[in-house]
C-alpha cells in the first residue's frame, strides 16, 4: 500500500468535512483485530474509501473487503483512491443503497463495520447478524452521536437517528449471542463479538 497517497486521501477528506473514521477509533479497532484472522470484512458506508483502505492492513494474506456506498460521486472518488493507494485488489466497492444491497449478500464475514445512515442501524444489525461468523466482530461507528444518544435529547431533526441508535444499543445489549462493549472513542463505537 502507498501510505503517502493514503495520507493525501485523509487530508482531502478532512478538508472537505467527509466524516472519515477518527484516529482513536481506528486504533481501538486495530487493537481488537490484532489477534484475529480477517479473511472477509464487510463495510457499510465507503465514502471515499479511507477506512476500508486502513482496514486492508488487518487482512490476512488473501483477505478481501466488500464495502457498500450509495453516493455516486463518492464511489467514483473511492475507485480512484483505491488505485492510487494500490489496494484495489483487496477492496470490492458495491454500488447501491445498503438497505437493498445487504439482503442480496450471502457471504460470511469475520468483521463487519457499520458506518452509514444512523436511522438504518437496527436494519444493518439484523443483516450483520445473519452474515457474521461465530467469533466475528461487528463494529458500529457514531453510536453515541455527539452525546445525543445518552442524553435526554429528543427534540430535534436528528430524533429518528437517535431513536434508532438507542434501539441498536438495546438489541446488542440484550442479544445473548453477543458480548458487547460501547466505547466513548471518536463519536462512540459499539463492539459486539459473536460468542456463539
When asked if residue 70 is in the footprint of ligand SAH (CB under 6 A), the reply is yes
CB of 195 to Mg ion, least distance (A): 25
When asked if residue 10 is in the footprint of ligand SAH (CB under 6 A), the reply is no
Burial 93-129 (b: 16+ CB within 10 A, else e): bbeeebbebbeebeeebbbbbbbbbbebbebbbebbb
Question: What x-and-dash track marks residues 139-158 binding Mg ion by CB under 5 A?
Answer: --xx----------------
Size of the site for ligand SAH (CB under 6 A): 19
When asked if residue 46 is in the footprint of Mg ion (CB under 5 A), the reply is no
| Helix, strand or coil, per DSSP, at residue 124 | helix
Q: Which of 57, 71, 86, 171 binds ligand SAH (CB under 6 A)?
A: 71
When asked if residue 41 is in the footprint of ligand SAH (CB under 6 A), the reply is no
Measured CA to CA, the distance from residue 51 to residue 110 in angstroms comes to: 16
Total H helices, total E strands in the chain = 7, 7
Nearest to 141 by CA among 8, 43, 50, 55: 43
When asked if residue 6 is in the footprint of ligand SAH (CB under 6 A), the reply is no
When asked if residue 43 is in the footprint of Mg ion (CB under 5 A), the reply is no
Amino acid at each position: 500500500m502507498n501510505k503517502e497517497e493514503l495520507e493525501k486521501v485523509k487530508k482531502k477528506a478532512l478538508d472537505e468535512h467527509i466524516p472519515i473514521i477518527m484516529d482513536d477509533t481506528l486504533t481501538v479497532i486495530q487493537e481488537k483485530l490484532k489477534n484475529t484472522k480477517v479473511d472477509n470484512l464487510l463495510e457499510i458506508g465507503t465514502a471515499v474509501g479511507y477506512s476500508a483502505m486502513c482496514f486492508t492492513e488487518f487482512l490476512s494474506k488473501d483477505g478481501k473487503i466488500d464495502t457498500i456506498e450509495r453516493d455516486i460521486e463518492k464511489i467514483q472518488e473511492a475507485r480512484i483512491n483505491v488505485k492510487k493507494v494500490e489496494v484495489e485488489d483487496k477492496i470490492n466497492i458495491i454500488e447501491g443503497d445498503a438497505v437493498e444491497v445487504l439482503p442480496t449478500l450471502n457471504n460470511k464475514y469475520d468483521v463487519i463495520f457499520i458506518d452509514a445512515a444512523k436511522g438504518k442501524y437496527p436494519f444493518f444489525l439484523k443483516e450483520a447478524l445473519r452474515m457474521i461468523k461465530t467469533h466475528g466482530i461487528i463494529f458500529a461507528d457514531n453510536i453515541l452521536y455527539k452525546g445525543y444518544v445518552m442524553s435526554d435529547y429528543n427534540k430535534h431533526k436528528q430524533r429518528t437517528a437517535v431513536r434508532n441508535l438507542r434501539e441498536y444499543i438495546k438489541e446488542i445489549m440484550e442479544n445473548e449471542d453477543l458480548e458487547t462493549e460501547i466505547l466513548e472513542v471518536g463519536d462512540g463505537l459499539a463492539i459486539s463479538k459473536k460468542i456463539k
